[in-house]
Amino acid sequence: MITVKALRVIERADLVLAPVAGPGRSSAAELVIRAHMNVEAAPVVFPMTRDAVERDAALRGQLEELRPRWEGAASVALPVIGDSALYATAAYFYGVWRTIDPSVGLELVPGVSAHSLAASRAGRFLALGDEVFSVVPGTAGREMVALALKSCDAAALYKPSALGEELRSVVESAGPWREILRADRAGLPGERLIKGPEALSRPDEYLSTLLLWRRGR
């Protein structure tokens, strides 16, 4: 799934960059694009680290290498999976780019969020009426995740793999839940929808979203 505006922006860009997790790795974002158009994209490795200094140094080095390609370009497109304004590592990339070239501008094109995509693939409504819906990152840690889940009627837990073996105990402690659903690689090859208690088993897939609906308060 990709928006019409995103396709137009990518099609008109002078340079398209493809975010990858490591050298030689494939890009999920590029895979989505290629389902709609044939475009040449330059890979950019986004280090899988929470060390800001290490991350920014790696991104800065790649931007310098790509300088001959982006310098003077009218527009550069960096497609990302999900919504460009929500938990998008592209924000770090843009921040580093601004330190190299303060004149670089930014346009965020709204995308399809992971929780909306997962819910649509499962044929479920996320929230209705006055129900409180929360988006919670699994990287926030056990206590913060549990606190956030306890205060809502429905939730999307991003990156549940970050909780490891604690996933089940954290989610169950914040229940009871009427329905539990996990979407691995939603909308991509290898998509898998897992329902019920099995959805709380430790996920090995990084591209995973856990959806929760509370039993009546």
Q: What is the CATH number of domain 114-214?
A: 3.30.950.10
Please provide residue 27's backbone torsions phi and psi, each rounded to the nearest 5 degrees.
-110, 120
Can you give the pLDDT at residue 39?
87
* Domain residue spans of the chain: 4-100, 114-214
Report DSSP letters for the chain, one per residue: ---HHHHHHHHH-SEEEEEESSTT---HHHHHHHTT-----EEEE----S-HHHHHHHHHHHHHHHHHHHTT-S-EE---SS-TTSS-THHHHHHHHHHH-TT----PPP---HHHHHHHHHT-----TT--EEEEEGGG-HHHHHHHHHT-SEEEEE-GGGGGGGHHHHHHHT--EEEEEEEESTTSTT-EEEEGGGGGSPP--SSEEEEEEE---
Cis before 79 (ω within 30): no
Q: Look at residue 94 in the predicted model and tell me its pLDDT.
A: 96
Of 154, 205, 206, the closest CA to residue 175 belongs to: 154
Give mean pLDDT in consecutive 10-residue pieces for the chain, a chain of 217 residues. 93 94 82 88 89 95 96 94 91 96 95 95 95 96 96 97 95 96 92 95 90 87
- At 194, list the tokens: 């897992």
Q: What is the pTM of this model?
A: 0.90
Measure the CA–CA gap between 169 and 183, rounded to whole angstroms: 19
Query: What's the pLDDT score for residue 203?
Result: 83
Do 4-100 and 114-214 show the same overall fold? Answer: no
Q: Tokens 């819906």 appear where? A: 133
pLDDT in tens, 29-76: 888 888 888 888 999 999 888 899 999 999 999 999 999 999 989 999
Asked if the 4-100 domain carries CATH number 3.40.1010.10, the reply is: yes
